[in-house]
Amino acid sequence: MLVLTREAYPGILRFTMRANLDGKVAIVTGAGRYRGIGRHVALTLARHGADVVITGSGRSPDKFPDEEKEMGWRDIESVADEIRALGRRALPVAASSADANDCQMLVEATKRELGRIDILVNNAAAGRGNDRVPFVQLEESEWRRVLETNLTGTFLVTKAAGKVMIDQGEGGAIINISSILGRQGVAMQGAYSVSKAGMILFTQVLAMEMAPQKIRVNCVCPGLVDTDRMKDVTRPGPIHDAVMGTIPLRRPGDPEEIGELVAFLAGPDASYIHGQTINIDGGRVMS
């Protein structure tokens, strides 16, 4: 049953959806960053009752942001500890979503340790790098890096996990994390935008194919979210002010808000939502 509770949030009133995910096992890719969407998705699913497998790329600690270094953050191991503290089972797995062997290992580890797969959240994404340049200056290696992580990685994880979900014969939910930049072309964001647009169409095709197996497939398109990767935009300054001017609600999203939407889409109260792409962006893209 869906229960709506009103709770305080800076400047607004927020409704929190209480999805019943008891007994479900979820995989969330790209969930090792402290200030990241993936971690908050994983924690939210756990709060709603799911056991959670979290993946990360196995980042070297010397590449952690200063905040993570100072707090002694341990990537997916720390997220696993947080999930266990909520009373749920957790399995951290270092794996690259763009590597087919890693994806198969991930699925086998999930089945061995937690017994099944009910929910897949494709959140892993390429970090911002030298891809943010005009197309005519974009190196092929950067184009391939972004598409292999964002699009090919989504395909490979879904292929491996989807086979298990079909064989179980009990339905399930797949949620792909795209972006509003997959909805709207923006200069110097070419590789990222194309990869995220591909995820939207991938969602639609997969939804058509998975419907007979009662596996629902949907896509979430966040706008600006207050994560470490976007700290140059979310922190006070001229860039922040310029970007806020494009968002009707005049604030960045909180990663936990993305988590709540994903939990709702994974739960029974979203049982008739299928093949949809949902923006969560403060009104920046209204379509």
Tell me which of 9, 34, 192, 272 is the catalytic residue: 192
| CA separation for the pair 194, 206 (Å, rounded) | 18
CA distance 260 to 266: 10
3-state secondary structure of 209: helix
Contact 158, 120 (CB under 8 A): yes
272 is catalytic: no
Q: What is the DSSP letter of 128?
A: S
- Count Cβ atoms below 10 Å from residue 141 Cβ, excluding itself: 10
Which stretch of DSSP H or E encloses residue 130?
A: none
- From the list 22, 84, 74, 11, the residue with the least C-alpha distance to 53 is 84
Distances (CA, A) of 222 to 66, 219, 284: 25, 10, 10
* Active site residues per annotation: 192
